């Protein structure tokens, strides 16, 4: 397949289980390398870069949100949001702390900074995950089934937050099997047996 994701787009990739959505997402998010072909990020061919540079681009430009949140249970919400900041090696401990607090406030959880994941609702956990994804101020936000474990009201809240982030200029990609979730995007692509089609 050959495709281009425009900066500032809000894209949904929809398809049934096993269609290849997660594999495609891992390639777009630089979590996996292709066995053949090329991936360009802002005009730079990245598949030939060193592993260190590959990780640097991913950590500085891309934020990830997962269906099962992937929060560390024995770390507070604030500490979870600080994780990508620590990996970047660009911030002091004080700066990490301040920026993580700002991100929690941005998603409406400034009062839950010292709460542990087991003390949070599903929607609150997803908001912590979104705050963590935003911590390094990425230009691309990738959400893999971000509402899959949420009730309808919380789904609306998360979708509204993603739309607001898109309006701020962040490129957003949602992978989902839910047509309703996909309908909130500006562009919808369908994965079918490893093939990509625009809806």
pLDDT of residue 71: 96
Q: Distance between CA 155 and CA 149 in Å, rounded?
A: 9
pLDDT value for 77: 97
Per cent of the chain over pLDDT 90 is 64
pLDDT at residue 16, rounded to an integer: 84
> Which residue has tokens 């269609």?
19
Q: How confident is the model over 81-130, as pLDDT tens digits?
A: 999 998 887 888 999 999 999 999 999 998 999 999 999 999 999 999 99
Model pLDDT for residues 7-37, shown as the tens digit of each residue: 999 999 998 888 888 889 999 999 888 899 9
Q: Domains (ranges, CATH) in the chain?
A: 10-198 (3.40.50.300)
pLDDT of residue 73: 96
Strands 40-41 vs 44-45: parallel, antiparallel or unpaired:
antiparallel
Query: What residue ranges in 80-179 does DSSP mark as E strands?
Result: 140-144, 171-176
Backbone torsions φ then ψ of 9, nearest 5 degrees:
-80, 160
Q: Looking at the predicted structure, is the pLDDT value of residue 199 above 90?
A: no
Query: Helix 93-106 vs helix 122-134: angle between axes, to the nearest 10 degrees?
Result: 130
Higher pLDDT pick, 141 / 15: 141
pLDDT digits (tens, 9 = 90+) for 30-86: 988 889 999 999 898 998 888 888 888 898 899 999 888 999 999 999 999 999 998
């Amino acid at each position: 397949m050959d495709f281009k994701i425009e900066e500032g787009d809000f894209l949904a990739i929809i398809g049934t289980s096993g269609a290849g959505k997660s594999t495609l997402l891992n390639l777009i998010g630089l979590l996996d390398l292709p066995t053949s072909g090329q991936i360009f990020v802002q005009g730079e061919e990245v598949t030939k870069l060193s592993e260190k540079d590959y990780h640097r681009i991913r950590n500085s430009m891309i934020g990830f949100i997962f269906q099962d949140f992937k929060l560390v249970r024995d770390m507070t919400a604030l500490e979870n949001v600080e994780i990508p900041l620590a990996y970047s090696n660009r911030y002091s401990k004080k700066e990490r702390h301040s920026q993580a607090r700002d991100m929690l406030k941005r998603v409406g959880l400034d009062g839950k900074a010292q709460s542990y994941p087991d003390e949070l609702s599903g929607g609150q956990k997803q908001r912590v995950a979104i705050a963590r994804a935003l911590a390094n101020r990425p230009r691309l936000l990738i959400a893999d089934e971000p509402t899959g474990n949420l009730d309808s009201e919380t789904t609306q809240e998360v979708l509204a937050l993603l739309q607001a982030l898109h309006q701020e200029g962040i490129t957003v990609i949602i992978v989902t099997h839910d047509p309703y979730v996909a309908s909130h995007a500006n562009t919808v692509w369908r994965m079918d047996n490893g093939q990509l089609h625009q809806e």
